[in-house]
Structure 1
Amino acid sequence: MQGVKRRTRRLIALAIAAVATVAAGLAILAPSAAYAAEGCKVEYKVASEWGGGFTGDVKITNLGDAINGWNLVWTFPNGQRITQIWNASYTSSGDQVTAKSLGYNKSIAKDASVSFGFNGSWSGTNGVPAQFKLNGVVCTGSIGEPSTPPTTTPPPTGGATAMETVAAMEPGWNLGNTLDAVGADETAWGNPRVTQELVNNIAAQGYNSIRIPITWDNHQSKTAPYAVEDAYLDRVQEVVGYALNADLHVLINIHHDSWIWMADMNTNRTVVEARYEAIWTELATRFRDAPPEVLFESVNEPQFNNVDDATAHALLDDLNVQFHEIVRGTGGGNATRVLVLPTLHTSADQVHLDSLSSTITSLNDPNIAATIHFYGFWPFSVNVAGYTKYNAEVQADIEGYFNRAYDEFVANDIPVIVGEWGLLGFDAHTGTVEQGEKLKFFEYVGYYAKQKGLTLQLWDNGQHFNRTTYQWRDAELYNMMKASWTSRSGTASSDQVYVAKSGTVADVSLTLNLNGTTFQGLRLGATNLVQGTDYTVSGSTLTIKASRLTSLLGDRNYGVKADLHAVFSQGAPWRISIISYDQPTMSAATGASSTFAIPTQFKGDQLATMEAKYADGTNAGPQNWTSYKEFARAFSPDYTAGTISLPTAFWNDVADGQKVTLTFHFWSGKTVTYYVTESGGNVTGSLT
């Protein structure tokens, strides 16, 4: 299955409820050798099963000539139905199912395998299909006369196609803010030096690839011949070696140089091209004999100063073609190494995809991959303009972005690496987006990228995986991402239940987002709560009973009183925090605009967003196209200190001497109105 690492040193055991192996001889199906086949084997596994639902894994092993495009047909014996599928598409007619290859896994070499999975429904009996047909011919697992089935070990990566190589890199992780740091060395931006132990720990988390961003500017002569420091190349080679030792694929690039000096290419073309050529000549020479698990990315987030898109596309085309010529010209392993080319800004806007597609077509090289970056629907990603929740618009943005990349590249056998992904708001604060809404975003991105055959490489500049303790700073987020590598997870309309401290406790309902799973139960720690007594479920509505809420609230002091977990048939559990709160209150304050903060008693509540308007109703502060300001940029809560700060970035865009009405929106649904006036660098804040 895509996303499961195939290693010689680490094996993953799967609990299998039922297994069927069906084998048969296969005749040549078409005059084209690409579709010829002589034999196959199909392994059908019920990997997990629950009341009314199950997960199936299907593995196809081709025993004959290479196949380029496949469909697999079977008939369910007991009325089972597929409800969700990954690594294939499907159609059905009654009990008959046809699973079809996707662009990235349509080729099956001799003695190689492909796998796909699905969730299905069943009732009464969940029997195994008796027969499978691959490309129209029944399988029995041999070529001609029955024989011992050949090994199903995948071909070595060295013989893999670009599509297979990139698929084997899923999931991936970025060693951000390290070798790409602009400064004296890799610790300049606060991260420790990279060690073999760190990289081993990344591999142990289940990652199959590591992207190593590298900034060369401080380690390259600024005069011809623009030599790169040998010591720096040695260090890069050492870190790449750590990755290979850990059985990881590795992607190296030219990183922040894209804006430091390469962005001036239109006005300083000779120097930019000479510096670029010098770096890639030295890199390609240094890694000429490296194994094919080492990939090269021409440049990170290419951008060019003071030019229109047409000119920028032409400049990037020149760099990508130059990169291709330099690397291929060094021979050895570089003659066939997978080379990764970015779109302008690594954007999946159609105009940028089209331009890169033209470049790739002109190169006529099967060992090319495309790369884009994805940080989500911008207003949601940074929490501005009132986009506090993961909603249909945010989801449609994910789908549109990935669909365009799939249609342009993957559907045409060009693999795509999403070389960086996450939320832009993480640059300011990992709490910019509320936890539950964040988890829904990460769950769906992982799922949908898998549907479209895209390889994801998480951007981590140190804010996710602690590089000293080797622990995740947000284990809940990691667990959700990890689950998305193989399945979907259930979620709910919220991960918070607010109960007023002095109010009457009543039943509370949440809407479950099953995402193809089945709800299994509600837990408090290791204790299963009792359905009908502690909670009820009706369709997709989960209702927690007042009696159970009362016991969980205990003394009803402010804050999180208990964490329940909704458990589903697969994926990560969904935490539901039971919170005791009251109406938040604020106090009058004065101070300098550079340090001004509003004294706030949160009383168990949490801040969702803030509006700012002048007395006449027009929008105040930065991003004045909206009244809702950007979280952690224009305002920032500090729950421990009991303040909400309004930094200089907010006051820079507020008219001197004009009163501003602030409306604070809390996740409980409560609001607080507060008034501020800034004059000559001093701020007065009040409740009236």
Structure 2
Amino acid sequence: MRLSGLHLRLQRTRAATVAVATAAVALVAGALVALPGAAQAAGVQCQATYAVTNDWGSGFTASVTITNLGSAWTSWTLGYSYTGNQALSSGWNGTWTQSGRNVTVSSLSWNAAVASGGTVSPAANFSYSGANTAPTAFTVNGVVCGGAGPTASPTPTPTPTGTGTPPTSAAPALHVSGNRLVTSTGADYRLLGVNRSSGEFACIQGKGMWDGPADQATVDAMKTWNIHAVRIPLNEECWLGTGDVPAGGTSGAAYQQAVKDYVNLLVANGINVVLDLHWTYGQYTGSGAGCSDVKATCQKPMPDMQYTPTFWTQVASAFKGDDAVLFDLFNEPYPDAANGFADATEAWTCLRDGGTCTGIGYQVAGMQTLVDAVRATGADNVIMTGGLTWTNDLSQWLAYKPVDPTGDLMASWHSYNFNGCVTTTCWNSTIGAVAAQVPVQAGEIGQNSCAHDYIDQVMAWADANGVGYTAWTWNPWGVCASSGNDLITDWAGTPTSSYGQGFQAHLLTQQP
């Protein structure tokens, strides 16, 4: 969002009420059971702990934390069996398969190597009826693991109040087909939800990570609004752990793990995630500047060559294989403002190709460079790229779009009442032309009046044209009167007067 400065935030915490039941197995050393891939593999030692973290009566979310007690693994395959009719719906942090009652989970490229003493926690959603008995034996690479022994039976998680209900499966894997996002079955799907700000600013301001809770209770609140997508703004220096991150700010491996944990939680709850690069490195003091700091402390006109390609290489490596996660390569480009709005062709070329751009004092990473960085990792996640003028202008997006060998490319559009393109006439002639050829996502919508008349128009047009939208923002900052973009007054999901109430009411009428 293009707003100068940051408002004071009140951090409220709320304990999660998810009932967790943990079950593991303690086995006599050397005893083996017939499980998938149970041929003995010399030297592998492990401990396995099974947990049901959410059970809604007809389905559940389960995770298995496996600890390497022996020499380092270069890859791993987990095996176990159910005694009931549990049926795999979807999984993450591993490649999940099921044959009859036997479940197998294989490592992904980014979590295949596990050092001695290290852990990995694949998780999945299952459906079932009747008893949901925990498995009693686990193998890794064919060798039986030890454990702590079964404990309590899973306790169903209470259904959240309101109109939302827990999903029966994780968020769908998505890809591009023509001008639509589609699921693995080919069904059309729109990303409808909210932005969850703070991953871009809290770390670089020494305020920890999320400036509030990022737990099951807050996700349950989102589900009562019928939220199916959350866009998470990120900070490249915090992800990379540079020396610019101050004391008190979450950085490097800790930041990366916090992002992964939150993404996994949302996906497990049926919510797709858009990872957005929001704040980046590079000094800029020209038109539209939000700060004069070289550090990643505000929205810059373009991403930088020094850090951004590495950022996206690492993010893509971390999330490839999970196509429920999408990548928004750069929040709000404005190279046209940097050149004084004097040369639109130069600005669009800068957006795509980067390099030396008028008015920008650092080397720019263009969208083609970032697409190439993501695809070089083998990730086929859907990628979003924006336009000019804080991505409100998509007038030449089709002519200057980067080449994506996978075809999984869509356009990112932002629409606020203070932007230039704010009428249906403009949307039809510019955004509509793009939406006729590729999927379009309104990654940010909002208005600075705490009303909802403008976003009502945006959503009506988007609904009619197959465009998704995520409103700014799911944060209770208490500044609705001055900026007008708080959707909630507390982390329990109480909507703000008018703006939040209007968006919530509309969202409850929609299906992805």
User: Could you tell me the TM-score, scaled by structure 2's length?
Assistant: 0.50
Paired residues for 1:278-293 under 5 Å: 278-289=310-321, 291-293=322-324
Once residues 361 and 9 of structure 1 are traced to their aligned partners in structure 2, the CA distance between those partners, rounded to angstroms, is 43
Q: How far did 1:441 drift?
A: 2.8
Residue correspondences, number: 296
- Is 1:370 the counterpart of 2:411 in the alignment? yes
1:212 maps to: 232
Q: CA contact under 8 A between 1:208 and 1:249: conserved in structure 2?
A: yes
Q: CA contact under 8 A between 2:181 and 2:189: conserved in structure 1?
A: yes
SS of 1:469's partner is coil
Distance 1:210 1:444, change over 3 A: same
Q: CA contact under 8 A between 2:172 and 2:272: conserved in structure 1?
A: no
Q: CA contact under 8 A between 2:446 and 2:471: conserved in structure 1?
A: yes
Find the partner of 2:267 among 239, 244, 250.
244
2:503 maps to: 481
Amino acid in structure 2 at the alignment position of 1:303? Y
Once residues 185 and 216 of structure 1 are traced to their aligned partners in structure 2, the CA distance between those partners, rounded to angstroms, is 16
1:444 maps to: 457
Once residues 221 and 244 of structure 1 are traced to their aligned partners in structure 2, the CA distance between those partners, rounded to angstroms, is 25
Q: How far did 1:274 drift?
A: 2.9
Q: How far did 1:164 drift?
A: 2.6
Amino acid in structure 2 at the alignment position of 1:214? L
Distance 1:157 1:187, change over 3 A: closer
Once residues 226 and 392 of structure 2 are traced to their aligned partners in structure 1, the CA distance between those partners, rounded to angstroms, is 27
Amino acid in structure 2 at the alignment position of 1:419? G
Amino acid in structure 2 at the alignment position of 1:280? W
1:164 maps to: 181
Paired residues for 1:255-294 under 5 Å: 255-257=278-280, 272-289=304-321, 291-294=322-325
Once residues 450 and 292 of structure 1 are traced to their aligned partners in structure 2, the CA distance between those partners, rounded to angstroms, is 24
- Is 1:322 the counterpart of 2:369 in the alignment? yes
Once residues 445 and 209 of structure 1 are traced to their aligned partners in structure 2, the CA distance between those partners, rounded to angstroms, is 17
1:353 maps to: 395
Once residues 182 and 208 of structure 2 are traced to their aligned partners in structure 1, the CA distance between those partners, rounded to angstroms, is 29
1:114 maps to: none
User: Could you tell me the TM-score, scaled by structure 1's length?
Assistant: 0.38
Distance 1:405 1:202, change over 3 A: farther
Structure 1 gap ranges (5+): 1-7, 12-152, 380-395, 431-437, 489-688
- Asked which structure has the greater RCO (Cα within 8 Å, sep 6+), the reply is 2
1:409 maps to: 434
SS of 2:414's partner is strand
Q: How far did 1:157 drift?
A: 3.8
SS of 2:273's partner is strand
Amino acid in structure 2 at the alignment position of 1:353? S
Q: How far did 1:179 drift?
A: 4.1
Once residues 236 and 338 of structure 1 are traced to their aligned partners in structure 2, the CA distance between those partners, rounded to angstroms, is 18
Distance 1:236 1:361, change over 3 A: closer
Distance 1:378 1:179, change over 3 A: closer
SS of 1:255's partner is strand
Distance 1:156 1:288, change over 3 A: closer
Q: Which has the larger radius of gyration?
A: 1
Instruction: Write out per-residue CA displacement over residues 323-347 of structure 1, whole angstroms, 9 at most, x where no aligned residue.
Output: 111111111xx1x321000112343
1:234 maps to: 257
- Is 1:399 the counterpart of 2:440 in the alignment? no
Distance 1:156 1:204, change over 3 A: same
Q: Select the structure that is richer in strand.
A: 1
1:183 maps to: 205
Instruction: Write out per-residue CA displacement over residues 243-264 of structure 1, whole angstroms, 9 at most, x where no aligned residue.
Output: 1121111000210227767988
Instruction: Write out per-residue CA displacement over residues 92-135 of structure 1, whole angstroms, 9 at most, x where no aligned residue.
Output: xxxxxxxxxxxxxxxxxxxxxxxxxxxxxxxxxxxxxxxxxxxx
Q: How far did 1:302 drift?
A: 1.5
Amino acid in structure 1 at the alignment position of 2:464? Q
Amino acid in structure 2 at the alignment position of 1:198? T
Q: CA contact under 8 A between 1:377 and 1:398: conserved in structure 2?
A: no
SS of 1:345's partner is coil
Distance 1:348 1:442, change over 3 A: closer
Q: How far did 1:377 drift?
A: 4.7
Paired residues for 1:25-64 under 5 Å: none
Structure 2 gap ranges (5+): 1-54, 59-168, 245-250, 354-365, 477-485
SS of 1:353's partner is coil
Find the partner of 1:466 among 489, 495, 501.
489
1:418 maps to: 442
Amino acid in structure 1 at the alignment position of 2:448? L
Distance 1:204 1:287, change over 3 A: same
Q: CA contact under 8 A between 1:447 and 1:484: conserved in structure 2?
A: no
